Structures are given as structure tokens and as C-alpha cells.
Amino acid sequence: MKIRITLIALLIVLVSTGIAFADSGVPQVEETQGFETSTLMQLFGTATETDSIATTIDDGYKVYWDPAPPMGGYSFIYSGTYSEHTIADQGLVSFAKTMKYDTAGMAAENQYNLVTDRITEFIGSETGRMISEESLLLDGAGTGTDAIYSLLCPFAAQGDDDIIPPFCNIVEEGSSVDLTLGSLSSQSSERFIMLAAPDTSSTNWGMEWPYPVSDPGVEANYNVKLIGFGDVAAVGSASAYMNAHLQEGRTFLQYGNGYNYDDYEYPKAEDMVYSELTTATGEITLFQKTMNYKSQVTGVGKITHLF
């Protein structure tokens, strides 16, 4: 008896907004880099594709503390990674992929530091097989910053005591397949590097320290789809997953006298752990999963001074 599996997980959305949920992003460096690749393959035999990229960027705040670890006040650090490994052996292979990466600060919600798009079709011989794995990760942490320099809306922050609270958020998304027959497509995008807004106030000792323009929000998207050819189902197994651990604060406490602050306290207001895994095995008519993570500052907290 033949079994056909239709599995659709159309929308898995993890949205973080508001005072207690807010990734600020990290400001771009002065010199930015960008690259773009395009790959096309059509063959009968063996094809492989291996891609990986990992970026770590911080705000460089080293006046009193190293950026991380441990992180001092007004510090940010982000890591973003992407990887794919595909091997299609002993079969008819069609492979097309584009990848774009840019370390410049993103100014709008439809702009991304990383964008990938691929489609792979495989028809295996009697011993043919295609294995493919793809993953996306976004990891950001910050100890709070002045909102007046990071939000373009003039009504979002009114003074120096308005802040973006501390946060520590990590999100993973990805998929894997093991096929003898099928058409696989996937898209991913990631935004975490923002435009840099220098603080030129007289109280900043002329350092022109960069703050991230946080209005677009931090975002990670991953979509995957597996189908067959016409009335012929894909054959094999497929899985897709999303994992997240989100930790957010509400306020920023400072201890000390005047500008000689002796200690900082970052009270955690929220701790969320999310995990999801979808799998399918057999003759698969449709396997589709769409995942989105977005964390956007829509409000501010307050600095509390304790003398």
C-alpha cells in the first residue's frame, strides 16, 4: 500500500515587540563588506554544495570594559551564522542558488544582511540519494542603551533616562532532507546590523560613540518546501525546526553618586524557551514550513538612579 504524506506548517511566527521584548541590533562598522554568489548545476552523477558564513560584531565599547565577556553598560554583541551542506549522488541533479551578504547597516524592514534562495531537483538511480542540511542562527545580547540615539521616531524617547532595556536572545532555524526523489526549495534572510548613529553630545567626551538605529527591528526568516514532480510524490524524509531562548529586561538600575556610578543592575523580566520540530517520511506530496522571528523596539524603559 502506498502512503502519501501532505504536511504544511505555513506559519511559525515568533514576534517580540514592546518594552520587555526588544533586540536593538548592533551598529555597523565604518568599513563594510558585501558579496554575492550565484550557482547553477545540471548533471547526471554527483554534485556537492557547501556554504558557511559566521559574523560576530560588537559596538567596540572598551572605555571601561571589554565588549564581552563580561559585558559592561551600554554594550552590544551579535553573532549570525548560516550553513548549507548538500550532496546528491548517482542521479539526475539540477541545482540553482543565490546568496547575498552585506555588513552595512540596514535602514528598513525589507532590507537584510543575509539573503539566500535555492532550488534543488533530484531523481536518483536505483542507488541514488540526496542529503541536504541547512541552518540559520541569530544570537544577540546587550546591556541596555539610551533610546534617544537609537529610535528615529521623536515620540518614542523623550530624554536621556529613556532606554532600550537589556536582552539576551538566541534563535535557530533550519531543515534537513534525505531523498531518492524530490524537488527542494528554501529561502532565508537575516537582519541584525543597523545604521550607526553617533552620540555627539557634550557629555560623551567627544567620542562620537555609535548607537544602532533600531527602528527596522532584528529579524530571522527561514522557509523550506519539498514536493514531487507532477503526480509523482517526493520519496524520502524531511524535517524542519525552530528553537529560541529569549531573555528580556524592563529597566536599568544605576548605583552611585553623580556620574561616578559604582555598580549596575539589569533585572530580568522575561525568560521564554520555544522549540518546534516537524518531520515527514515516506511518499511526500508536500512538505512546507515557514518560520519568522522578529524583535523590534516599540517602547522604552527607564533608568532608575539609586544614590
Residue 270 has pLDDT above 50, yes or no: yes
The average pLDDT across 171-191 equals: 98
Residue 144 CA neighbour count, 13 Å, CB half = 27
Task: State the cell numbers at 6.
Answer: 501532505
The average pLDDT across 18-30 equals: 74
**Exposure b/e, 203-212, CB count within 10 A at least 16 = b:** eeeeeebbbb
What's the structural domain count of the chain? 1
Residue 232 has pLDDT above 80, yes or no: yes
269: left (phi over 0), alpha (psi -120 to 50) or beta: alpha
Range of the domain at 62: 4-306
Q: Pick the closest to residue 303 from 152, 150, 145, 154 (CA basis).
A: 145
Confidence at residue 265, expressed as pLDDT on a 0 to 100 scale? 62
